[in-house]
Amino acid sequence: MKIFIVEDEDLYIDQLEMVVEQAGHTVCGAATNAEEALRLFEKSCADMALIDINLAGEMDGLELGKWLKRFRDDLLIIFITAHYADVGYFEKAKQLSAYAFLKKPIDATDLLRTIELAFQYNTTQADVGTRGHTDDHHTLLVKIKAKYIKIDQNDITHIAAEDKYCSIHLKDGTVYLERISLKELNKKLSPRLFAQTHRSYIVNLNNVQETDTAEFTIKVNGNQIPLGDTYKDYFLKKFGA
């Protein structure tokens, strides 16, 4: 699991990195303030973020957590704070669906066990998501103006976000334009069949013909699809490369 750290004290960053590595996971980035974190996070491919709530600067850790969730809504967040008894902080962390809320200074054993439980939870959720999408249920219901159309997900080659719409491309060249965000549409797709490759693109893994990591492109049914640096590791893992 890849873990991103946001902590405004270098000493604590070193301690957190040591615990993460002890747990057998990877620190994929670290920042000392929210502004730096937002700049670095998009390239980190993080599965989890350890965030100190009381950061120096205009944005605190809770507000940062809200922004990071916009980049990746399944991101596991563990908040760390010296103000552990502050009910307001705790309630805000709950609203962000934080995985844990830990007291600072950090107890290494507590953090180690929390990371391990989060890793197990993440693995279990992925397994459940995969099992919940069988071949008998690979259909997608889309609304085109006044019509509802059922599409076999296996027939979809890729999906592109265009302003407030998504264009759904099929193998036979048919294109459906639905008024929906890419994030919402992605929730309806089989996680076994599809992977996001760019903030504006999702591809059907079974229809990928070629991947060029030097040019950051993917060939799908004759179409060149961009491969964003943020999504590269995630895509290649799902693609089996």
pLDDT digits (tens, 9 = 90+) for 136-164: 347 888 888 888 888 999 999 999 998 88
pLDDT at 122 over 80: no
Domain positions in the chain? 2-131, 135-239
CATH superfamily label, 2-131 = Response regulator (3.40.50.2300)
CB neighbours (10 Å) of residue 51? 27
User: Parallel, antiparallel, or unpaired: how do β-strands 2-6 and 26-31 relate?
Assistant: parallel
* CATH fold match for the domains 2-131 and 135-239: no
- Angstrom distance (rounded) from CA 175 to CA 167: 6
Band of residue 31 on the pLDDT scale cut at 50, 70, 90: very high
Q: Are 160 and 180 in contact (CB under 8 A)?
A: no
Mean pLDDT along residues 95-117: 87
Mean pLDDT (the chain, rounded): 86
- In CATH terms, the fold of domain 135-239 is OB fold (Dihydrolipoamide Acetyltransferase, E2P) (2.40.50)
